[in-house]
Structure 1
Amino acid sequence: MARKFTPKIVTANDLIEGDVVYLTADDRWSRLHEEAELIEDEAHAQLRLLFAQAQPDRVVGPYLADALPGPNGPEPVHFREAFRTRGPSNYPHGKQEARHV
């Protein structure tokens, strides 16, 4: 019996700045998890990943991450992805400063 597909988002790191970025439905890279395209079809998820992998001049390490629909957009499922939304933890600026995490 096939396992049910868990919705995904495409995430990577910005090539120049290193920030975590998320692929949006309109083909932009956003630093906001809630702007990520929530992909609910496995074949479409693979196509979006291939699209991301074809941009080595913009991002590094793209991969599919599990996500769930939320009231403001996709929400991370795993601790690692929730942690990545907060940005680097070794200094109090950037995403952590802005969100008061």
Structure 2
Amino acid sequence: MPSPDGTLHAITANRLRDGVVVFLGAAGAWVESFADAALLTEAEATTALAAAKAQAERDQFGVDLYAFEVESENGAALPVKMRERIRTLGPSVRLDLGKQAAA
């Protein structure tokens, strides 16, 4: 459910083991695909981010955990800022690499 202003958020991190960009999924597990990321209201994202940071530190799982804004475009969730759009797809200089290569 979106925030009162309609904004949704997702949570991302880099996995320590291999540096892969991951997203917090609906079940609280980390997923590699943005399509599987949980979309949260701002309040939900704040609570989930605090818990995820604490757990990631205990498990030495990930770094650079943060929430980012997501918008709906043509019925699909899409990060608002270019930084997160690139993180969801992979390198922007070679479309044959990263997650966009599999699409």
DSSP-derived class of the 2:89 partner: coil
Structure 1 runs (4+) greater than 3 angstroms displaced: 69-72, 88-94
- Unaligned runs of 5+ residues in structure 1 are none
1:38-49 → structure 2 map (5 Å cutoff): 38-40=39-41, 42-49=42-49
Q: CA RMSD in A?
A: 2.3
Q: How many residues align?
A: 95
Return the TM-score normalized by structure 1: 0.78
Residues 3-35 of structure 1: per-residue CA shift (max 9 Å, x gap): 947311011111111111100110111111111
Return the TM-score normalized by structure 2: 0.76
> Is this contact kept in 1: 2:90–2:97, CA < 8 A?
no
Structure 1 residue 23 corresponds to structure 2 residue 24: yes
Seq. identity, %: 36
Structure 1 residue 62 corresponds to structure 2 residue 65: yes
For residue 82 of structure 1, the aligned residue among 80, 85, 90 is 85
- Unaligned runs of 5+ residues in structure 2 are none
Residues 21-63 of structure 1: per-residue CA shift (max 9 Å, x gap): 10011011111111111112x2211111012201121111100
DSSP-derived class of the 1:22 partner: strand
